[in-house]
């Protein structure tokens, strides 16, 4: 039998302003153990993605990420306490209970990538 075990799946997230996006994700709580001129590797716990120094507006408008967390209210407090929306001039919508059994909030990154950060309820 073949070994089809997966190890990791990473999205390539676009950045209009690479340095600003790197600062945004670090403020959000992600660690950046590696970066060069074209890519930056970010992770938080077992979740990770690659930020790319590449941007196409039509693609960024449709790009969404979902981060499933244990405590969405703790993440909300962090985002609001750190004034991330104001510092990076991004959209932030408060937590809501969704009909699909999740409580989440929405935050856009500096390139317009929509993030849903939520927990199962």
Q: Considering its fold, how many domains does the chain have in total? A: 1
DSSP string, 29-71: T-EEEEE-SSEEEEEETTEEEEEES---HHHHHH-EEEEE-S-
Residue 6 domain-assigned (yes or no) = no
Residue 102 domain-assigned (yes or no) = yes
**Which among 47, 56, 53 has a CA at the least distance from the CA of 28?**
47
Q: What is the pLDDT of residue 61?
A: 80
Residue 1 domain-assigned (yes or no) = no
| SS3 category, 12 | strand
Residue 4 domain-assigned (yes or no) = no
* H, E, C per residue of 77-121: HHHHHCCHHHHHCCCEEEEEEECCCEEEEEEECCCCCEEEEEEEC
**Any bridge partners for residue 56, and if so which?**
none
- Summarised one tens digit per residue, pLDDT across range 12-38 is 999 999 999 999 999 999 999 999 999
Q: What is the DSSP letter of 22?
A: H
Percentage of the chain beyond pLDDT 70 is 100
Residue 3 domain-assigned (yes or no) = no
Q: Residue 18's domain spans which residues?
A: 12-120
Q: What is the pLDDT of residue 13?
A: 97
Residue 21 domain-assigned (yes or no) = yes
């Amino acid at each position: 039998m073949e070994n089809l075990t997966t190890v990791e799946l990473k999205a390539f997230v676009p950045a209009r302003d690479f340095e600003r996006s790197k600062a945004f994700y670090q403020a959000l709580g992600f660690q950046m153990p590696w970066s060069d001129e074209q890519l930056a590797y970010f992770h938080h716990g077992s979740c990770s993605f690659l930020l790319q120094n590449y941007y196409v507006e039509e693609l960024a408008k449709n790009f969404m990420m979902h981060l499933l967390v244990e405590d969405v209210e703790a993440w909300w407090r962090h985002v609001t306490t750190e004034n991330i929306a104001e510092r990076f001039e991004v959209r932030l919508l408060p937590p809501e209970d969704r009909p699909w059994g999740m409580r989440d909030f929405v935050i856009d990154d500096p390139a317009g990538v929509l993030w849903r950060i939520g927990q199962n309820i």
